C-alpha cells in the first residue's frame, strides 16, 4: 500500500525552524513528509476518518486575538494560560511558590528536548503516530509547567484552548508538565471554539510525574461545531506516582484524544475516566494505552459514551503488562449508550499480557436504556420522556461524579443536563 | 516435584502423532504458477468452470500481500518452495474407479489411520469402539482416501463425500455455493487456497433432513515440503441439521509446513450446522522448531431465517494458528455461536477468535473463548462483533478468559465491537489471571495431587466449551488438554 504523503497545503506549511531541537524537528519533518497523515487503513485510525483535515487547507494563524471563552470555569484563584489558535497569549505573574511557567519558545534547550521526548516513546516510523511527529515538526508555541519537589499547588492551572479565532486556523502546540518528587498539581484544559468556521489543533502534552507526586488532569471539550482537534497526552509515572485523568467531551466536529500512560515505578497508579457525548454529526474518539512496566502497579479505566442523532463514539483502550511486571491490577470498563439508529459506537478494549500474576479485566457494553428501569419510573408516574432523560442523565452523572472538584462537578452537571434537554426526540423515544 | 521440574516436564511432552507413513506418493514438484493450478485441476478431472475459478483466484492472489496484522511472528514463507499437490500413489490408480470398499485402499494408509485412532472400517462401529456412529472422510495430504457410511447416509438423502467427488457428481451444487461465503479473493490465504486446493469434504443435507449420524473429516499431512489446502463446503437446506467434526494431525518435521484451508457453511431457513474442530497439527518441538502454520479461513453464512451455526474448537496444535471461524447472521432470528479453547505451549503462537456479523433482525450470538498459555506461548483472542443498521434487537454476549501458566508466556485480547443500531445489546467481558494459589491449596487440602488439582481447575475453566462438543470429541478434547498441560503445575 503506497502512502500518500502530506497534503500539499500542509507540506508547504512545514516551517524551517520549530521549538523542538533542530535535529529532532528536522528528522520529524522528513518522516512526516514521507508518511503523511494517518488513514483508515492504519489500525489505530480505522474508525476515525481525517478527511476533514486532509481537505481542510488550514493555515497557521498569526498574531494575538481578543478571543474569550464562552464562560469562565467556576474555579477560584485559577491560574489561566490562554492559547488562541495555539498561540500563548501571556504568562500570569502572581504564581505560587514552587510553580514555574515558561513559554516553550523561551525555554532552554534541555527543557525543549524534554518536551519533545515523551515516554512512552512514539514510533516516528509508524503512520499511526504521524500526528505526534507532525507536531514535533511544526510546534513553535507551547508552555512548560514545572512544579518543584514537595510543592502542593492548590490553585488549579487552567489551559484555555480557544480555537478558530481566525477562520481555517491550525496549530500544533506542545505542553510539558513536570512534577518533582511528592509535588501535587491539577491542570484543567478548557477547549472551546471561538468562531464557527473549521479550525484544527493538533496538540501534544507531555507529563512527567516524579516519585510520589500526583497530577490531576481534567480535559473539558466544550463548545464548537466545526472544531477539529487531535490531541495526544503522554504521562510517565515514577515510583508511587499518581495520574488522575478526566476527559469530558461535548463539543467539536472531530475530537480525537489519545492517552499514553507509562507506569515505570512500583506502587504507581493511573486513573482514566471519561465521558463522550457525540450528537449531530460529531465524532468523538478516545484511544488509551496503559503500559504497566513495573511490578505492583494499578490502573483503573472507566469510559462512557452516549451517542445520539448521527453522532459517533469511538473508544479503544489497551492495557499492556510487560514481562516481570507481577502483581498488577488493571481494570477497564467501556459502557456505551446508543440512542439513535443513525448513531454508531465502536469499541475495542484490549489486553496484552506478558506476566502471570495479574488480575486484569475489561468489559464493554453497548446498549440502550434499561426497559425495566424505564418501566419502574413510569409506574411512579414519571412521563416517558422525562424517565428517559433521567436515566440518560444518571448514566452521564456517574462519570461526572468522579471529578475531584465540587464546583466543577456542579457546573458540568448543569451543562450536561442542558445538553440532554435539547434532545429533539426526547419525547418520541429512540 | 518442584515447579521448575514440572515445567520442564511440561515442555518435554511429546507429540504422539509425529510418525510418518512411508508410502509412495505422487508429488507435483515445488513451485507455484498457472501451470501448477492447471495441473491440479487436470488431475482432478475438473469441469472448466472450476479451472476458471481457480485461475481467477490465482491471479487475484498474485496482486495481494500477506497480512501482517496478527500477533504472530514467523519467517517469510517461500511459496515457490512448497509443493502444492501430494497424493498416495495407490489412490492415483484408483481415481478412475473410485474405491468400492476399503479392501481397495492401501493397507499402509489404513494402518496410519488405525494408529491415529480413526475408524475407517465400518464394521469397527459394530464392535462398538471409540468413534461409534460417526461417518468419516479421511484426507491424506492432498486427496481424500475414503469416506465411510456413504450408503447409510445416502438413504437419508445426505451427500457426504470428498470435494473432488462432489465436483464430479454434483457440479450444480458446487457452482451454486462455492465461494459464496468465502469469496475467492477474500484474503491472502483464502485466495491461495481457492487457486490450489486439492480436496476436502462436501456435505449436503436436503430439506427437512436431520443427518442420522455425526460426520467427520480427518486431515493428515504426511508428505514433506507440501502445503495442505483443503476446502470444505457444508450446505444445510431448509430445516436440515448436521453435526460435523474435524480432526487433524501431522508428522514431526523440522521444517514448517503450511496448511491453508477454507471452510464454508451455508444454513438456509431453520437449518442448523454444528461444526466442531479438534486441531492437533504438529506444534513444533520444545525450541519452536518445525510445526504447522495453520492459516485457515472458516465462515458460516446463516442465510435463512431462524438458522443456527455453531463453531466449537479445541486448538491444541500448530506452531502458528491464524483462524477466525465466523458467522454472518443474515437471516432474521438467526443464531451464531463460537466456543473455543485454545492451548498454547512451548513456542506456539495463536491468534484466533471469531467474527459475528449481525445483519438480520433479532439475531443473537454468543462467544465463549478460553485461552490457556504455558511455556513461551503467545495466545491472542481477536474478534469482531458487528451490529449492522438493519439488525434491530440484535444481541451479543462475549466472554474471553485467559489463563496463564508460567511467567514467560503471553495472553492477549483484541476485540472489536461495532454497533450501528440503537436496539443492539452487546456485552463483552474479558479476564486474565493465573491459577490462584488459593484454588490449588484448597484442592490439595482435599487430597488431590498437584497435577490432578491443576487438571481440575483447567477443566473447570474450559467446561463451558467442552459441554458444547459432541460426546466423542469431548472425551478426546479433555484427554488432549490433559496431555498438553501435563506437569504444568504452578
Helix (H, G, I), strand (E, B) or coil at B327: strand
> For chain B, how far is it from start to end, CA to CA, in angstroms?
11
Nearest CA in chain A to B412: A352
- The predicted pLDDT at position B1 comes to 45
Structural domain count, chain A: 2
Residues A258 and A382 in one domain: no
User: Are residues A186 and A216 in contact, defined by beta-carbon separation less than 8 angstroms?
Assistant: yes
- How far apart are the CA of B60 and the nearest CA of chain A, in angstroms? 16
Residue B95 has pLDDT above 60, yes or no: no
Domain boundary among A238, A265, A292: A265
Structural domain includes residue A425? yes
Helix (H, G, I), strand (E, B) or coil at A104: helix
Residues A252 and A387 in one domain: no
Contact between B417 and A360 using a beta-carbon 8 Å cutoff: no
Residue B5 has pLDDT above 80, yes or no: no
Q: Which of B417, B432, B434 sits opposite A348 (nearest CB)?
A: B417
Structural domain includes residue A360? no
pTM for this prediction: 0.86
Structural domain includes residue A319? no
- Contact with chain A for residue B419, Cβ under 8 A: yes
Rounded CA separation B319/B74 (Å): 9
Contact between B404 and A353 using a beta-carbon 8 Å cutoff: yes
Rounded CA separation B420/B250 (Å): 44
Half-sphere exposure of B298 (CA within 13 A, CB side): 26
- Contact with chain B for residue A430, Cβ under 8 A: yes
b/e sequence A84-99, b meaning 16+ C-beta within 10 Å: bbbbbeeeeeeeeebb
- The predicted pLDDT at position A17 comes to 84
Determine how β-strand A298-307 pairs with β-strand A269-276.
Answer: parallel
Residues A59 and A190 in one domain: yes
Whole-number average pLDDT of chain A: 92
Residue B485 has pLDDT above 70, yes or no: no
Residues A39 and A178 in one domain: yes
Structural domain includes residue A332? no
More confident residue, A209 or B14: A209
C-alpha distances out from residue A175 to A5, A92, A119, Å? 27, 16, 14
Structural domain includes residue A289? no
Instruction: Name which of A201-215, A217-231, A312-326, B244-258 the model is least confident about.
Output: B244-258
Rounded CA separation A289/A309 (Å): 29
Give B388's contacts in chain A (Cβ within 8 Å). none
Structural domain includes residue A118? yes
Rounded CA separation B343/B281 (Å): 12
Residues A113 and A226 in one domain: yes
- Contact with chain A for residue B427, Cβ under 8 A: yes
Instruction: Name which of A158-162, A350-354, B96-100, B354-358 the model is least confident about.
Output: B96-100
Rounded CA separation A227/A229 (Å): 6
Rounded CA separation B268/B265 (Å): 10
Residues A59 and A179 in one domain: yes
- DSSP state, residue B29: P
Residues A246 and A129 in one domain: yes
Residue B23 has pLDDT above 80, yes or no: no
- The predicted pLDDT at position B93 comes to 46
Q: In this predicted model, what pLDDT tens digit does every residue of A59-86 receive, in sequence order?
A: 988 766 788 888 889 998 999 999 999 9
- DSSP state, residue A152: B
Residue B379 has pLDDT above 80, yes or no: yes
Nearest CA in chain A to B70: A43
- The predicted pLDDT at position B4 comes to 53
Contact between B422 and A356 using a beta-carbon 8 Å cutoff: no
Which residue, among B79, B338, B321, has the nearest Cα to B193 in the 3D structure?
A: B79
Q: In this predicted model, what pLDDT tens digit does every residue of A132-154 receive, in sequence order?
A: 999 999 998 999 999 999 999 99
Nearest CA in chain A to B65: A1
Structural domain includes residue A279? no
Joined together, the cell numbers standing for residue B49 give 468452470
Residues A249 and A379 in one domain: no
Residues A216 and A86 in one domain: yes
Burial class of residue B460 in the structure, from the number of CB atoms within 10 Å of its CB (0-12 exposed, 13-18 middle, 19+ buried): exposed
Domain boundary among A265, A281, A313: A265
- The predicted pLDDT at position B7 comes to 47
More confident residue, A83 or B292: A83
Whole-number average pLDDT of chain B: 83
Residues A88 and A229 in one domain: yes
In which domain, by residue range, is A55 found?
8-265
Contact between A430 and B412 using a beta-carbon 8 Å cutoff: no
Domain boundary among A209, A242, A265: A265
Residues A382 and A253 in one domain: no
- The predicted pLDDT at position A113 comes to 94
Chain B residues 57-96 within an 8 A CB cutoff of chain A: 65, 69
Burial class of residue B69 in the structure, from the number of CB atoms within 10 Å of its CB (0-12 exposed, 13-18 middle, 19+ buried): exposed
More confident residue, A61 or A220: A220
Structural domain includes residue A284? no
Q: Which of B420, B426, B430 sits opposite A344 (nearest CB)?
A: B420
Residues A258 and A387 in one domain: no
User: Are residues B490 and B4 in contact, defined by beta-carbon separation less than 8 angstroms?
Assistant: no
Rounded CA separation A308/A421 (Å): 13
Instruction: Name which of A68-72, B171-175, B323-327 the model is least confident about.
Output: A68-72
Contact between B425 and A353 using a beta-carbon 8 Å cutoff: no
Backbone angles phi, psi at A154, to 5 degrees: -75, -35
Nearest CA in chain A to B417: A347
Task: Write the CB contacts of A310 (distance below 8 Å, at least 6 apart in sequence).
Answer: A279, A280, A281, A340, A342, A343
Amino acid at each position: 500500500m503506497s502512502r500518500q504523503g502530506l497534503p500539499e497545503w500542509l507540506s508547504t506549511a512545514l516551517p524551517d525552524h520549530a521549538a523542538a531541537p533542530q535535529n529532532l524537528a528536522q528528522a520529524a519533518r522528513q518522516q512526516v513528509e514521507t508518511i503523511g497523515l494517518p488513514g483508515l487503513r492504519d489500525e489505530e485510525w480505522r474508525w476515525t476518518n481525517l478527511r476533514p483535515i486532509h481537505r481542510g487547507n488550514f493555515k497557521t494563524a498569526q498574531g494575538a486575538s481578543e478571543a474569550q471563552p464562552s464562560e469562565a470555569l467556576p474555579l477560584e484563584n485559577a491560574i489561566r494560560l490562554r492559547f488562541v489558535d495555539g498561540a500563548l497569549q501571556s504568562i500570569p505573574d502572581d504564581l505560587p511558590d514552587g510553580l514555574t511557567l515558561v513559554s516553550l519558545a523561551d525555554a532552554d534547550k534541555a527543557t525543549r528536548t524534554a518536551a519533545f521526548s515523551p515516554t512512552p516513546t512514539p514510533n516516528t516510523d509508524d503512520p499511526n503516530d504521524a500526528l505526534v511527529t507532525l507536531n514535533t515538526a511544526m510546534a513553535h508555541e507551547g508552555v512548560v509547567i514545572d512544579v518543584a519537589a514537595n510543592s502542593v499547588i492548590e490553585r488549579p492551572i487552567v489551559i484555555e484552548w480557544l480555537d478558530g479565532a481566525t477562520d481555517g486556523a491550525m496549530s500544533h502546540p506542545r505542553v510539558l508538565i513536570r512534577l518533582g518528587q511528592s509535588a501535587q498539581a491539577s491542570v484543567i484544559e478548557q477547549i472551546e471554539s471561538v468562531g464557527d468556521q473549521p479550525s484544527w489543533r493538533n496538540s501534544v502534552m507531555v507529563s512527567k510525574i516524579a516519585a510520589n507526586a500526583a497530577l490531576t488532569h481534567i480535559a473539558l471539550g466544550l463548545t464548537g461545531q466545526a472544531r477539529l482537534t487531535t490531541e495526544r497526552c503522554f504521562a510517565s509515572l515514577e515510583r508511587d506516582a499518581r495520574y488522575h485523568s478526566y476527559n469530558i467531551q461535548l463539543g467539536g466536529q472531530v475530537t480525537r484524544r489519545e492517552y499514553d500512560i507509562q507506569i515505570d515505578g512500583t506502587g504507581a497508579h493511573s486513573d482514566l475516566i471519561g465521558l463522550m457525548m457525540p450528537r449531530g454529526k460529531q465524532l468523538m474518539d478516545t484511544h488509551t494505552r496503559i503500559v504497566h512496566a513495573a511490578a505492583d502497579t494499578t490502573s483503573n479505566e472507566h469510559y462512557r459514551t452516549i451517542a445520539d442523532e448521527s453522532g459517533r463514539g469511538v473508544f479503544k483502550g489497551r492495557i499492556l503488562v510487560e514481562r516481570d511486571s507481577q502483581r498488577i491490577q488493571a481494570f477497564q470498563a467501556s459502557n456505551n449508550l446508543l440512542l439513535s439508529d443513525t448513531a454508531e459506537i465502536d469499541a475495542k478494549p484490549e489486553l496484552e499480557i506478558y506476566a502471570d500474576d495479574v488480575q486484569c479485566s475489561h468489559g464493554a457494553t453497548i446498549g440502550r436504556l434499561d426497559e425495566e428501569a424505564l418501566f419502574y419510573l413510569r409506574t411512579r408516574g414519571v412521563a416517558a420522556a422525562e424517565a428517559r432523560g433521567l436515566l440518560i442523565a444518571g448514566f452521564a452523572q456517574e462519570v461526572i461524579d468522579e471529578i475531584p472538584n465540587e464546583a466543577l462537578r456542579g457546573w458540568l452537571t448543569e451543562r450536561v443536563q442542558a445538553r440532554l434537554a435539547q434532545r429533539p426526540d426526547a419525547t418520541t423515544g429512540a | 516435584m518442584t515447579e521448575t521440574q514440572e515445567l520442564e516436564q511440561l515442555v518435554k511432552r511429546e507429540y504422539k502423532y509425529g510418525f510418518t507413513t512411508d508410502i509412495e506418493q505422487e508429488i507435483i514438484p515445488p513451485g507455484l504458477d498457472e501451470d501448477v493450478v492447471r495441473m491440479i485441476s487436470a488431475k482432478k478431472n475438473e469441469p472448466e468452470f472450476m479451472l476458471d475459478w481457480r485461475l481467477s483466484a490465482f491471479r487475484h492472489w498474485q496482486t495481494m500481500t500477506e497480512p501482517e496484522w496478527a500477533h504472530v511472528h514467523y519467517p517469510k514463507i517461500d511459496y515457490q518452495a512448497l509443493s502444492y499437490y501430494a497424493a498416495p500413489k495407490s489412490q492415483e490408480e484408483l481415481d478412475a474407479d473410485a474405491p468400492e470398499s476399503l479392501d481397495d485402499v492401501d493397507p499402509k494408509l489404513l494402518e496410519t489411520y488405525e494408529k491415529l485412532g480413526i475408524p475407517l472400517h465400518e464394521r469397527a462401529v459394530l464392535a462398538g469402539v471409540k468413534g461409534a456412529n460417526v461417518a468419516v472422510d479421511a484426507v491424506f495430504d492432498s486427496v481424500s482416501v475414503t469416506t465411510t457410511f456413504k450408503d447409510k447416509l445416502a438413504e437419508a438423502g445426505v451427500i457426504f463425500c470428498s470435494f473432488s467427488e462432489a465436483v464430479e457428481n454434483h457440479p450444480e451444487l458446487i457452482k451454486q455455493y462455492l465461494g459464496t461465503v468465502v469469496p475467492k479473493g477474500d484474503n491472502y490465504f483464502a485466495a491461495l487456497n481457492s487457486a490450489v486446493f486439492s480436496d476436502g469434504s462436501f456435505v449436503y443435507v436436503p430439506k427437512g433432513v436431520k443427518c442420522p449420524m455425526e460426520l467427520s473429516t480427518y486431515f493428515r499431512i504426511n508428505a514433506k515440503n507440501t502445503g495442505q489446502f483443503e476446502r470444505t463446503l457444508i450446505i444445510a437446506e431448509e430445516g436440515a441439521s448436521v453435526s460435523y467434526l474435524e480432526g487433524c494431525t501431522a508428522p514431526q518435521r523440522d521444517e514448517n509446513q503450511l496448511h491453508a484451508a477454507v471452510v464454508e457453511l451455508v444454513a438456509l431457513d431453520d437449518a442448523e450446522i454444528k461444526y466442531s474442530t479438534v486441531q492437533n497439527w504438529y506444534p513444533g518441538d520444545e525450541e519452536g522448531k518445525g510445526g504447522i502454520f495453520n492459516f485457515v479461513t472458516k465462515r458460516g453464512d446463516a442465510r435463512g431465517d431462524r438458522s443456527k451455526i455453531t463453531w466449537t474448537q479445541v486448538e491444541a496444535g500448530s506452531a502458528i494458528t491464524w483462524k477466525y471461524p465466523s458467522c454472518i447472521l443474515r437471516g432474521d432470528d438467526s443464531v451464531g455461536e463460537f466456543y473455543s479453547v485454545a492451548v498454547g505451549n512451548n513456542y506456539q503462537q495463536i491468534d484466533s477468535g471469531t467474527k459475528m456479523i449481525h445483519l438480520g433482525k433479532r439475531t443473537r450470538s454468543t462467544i465463549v473463548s478460553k485461552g490457556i498459555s504455558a511455556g513461551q506461548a503467545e495466545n491472542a483472542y481477536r474478534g469482531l462483533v458487528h451490529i449492522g443498521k438493519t439488525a434491530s434487537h440484535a444481541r451479543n454476549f462475549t466472554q474471553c478468559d485467559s489463563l496463564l501458566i508460567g511467567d514467560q508466556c503471553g495472553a492477549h485480547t483484541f476485540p472489536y465491537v461495532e454497533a450501528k443500531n440503537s436496539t443492539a445489546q452487546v456485552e463483552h467481558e474479558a479476564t486474565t489471571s493465573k491459577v490462584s494459589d488459593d484454588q490449588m491449596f484448597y484442592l490439595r487440602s482435599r487430597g488431590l495431587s498437584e497435577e490432578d488439582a491443576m487438571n481440575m481447575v483447567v477443566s473447570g475453566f474450559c467446561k463451558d466449551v467442552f459441554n458444547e462438543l459432541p460426546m466423542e470429541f469431548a472425551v478426546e478434547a479433555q484427554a488432549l488438554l490433559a496431555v498438553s498441560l501435563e506437569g504444568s503445575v504452578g
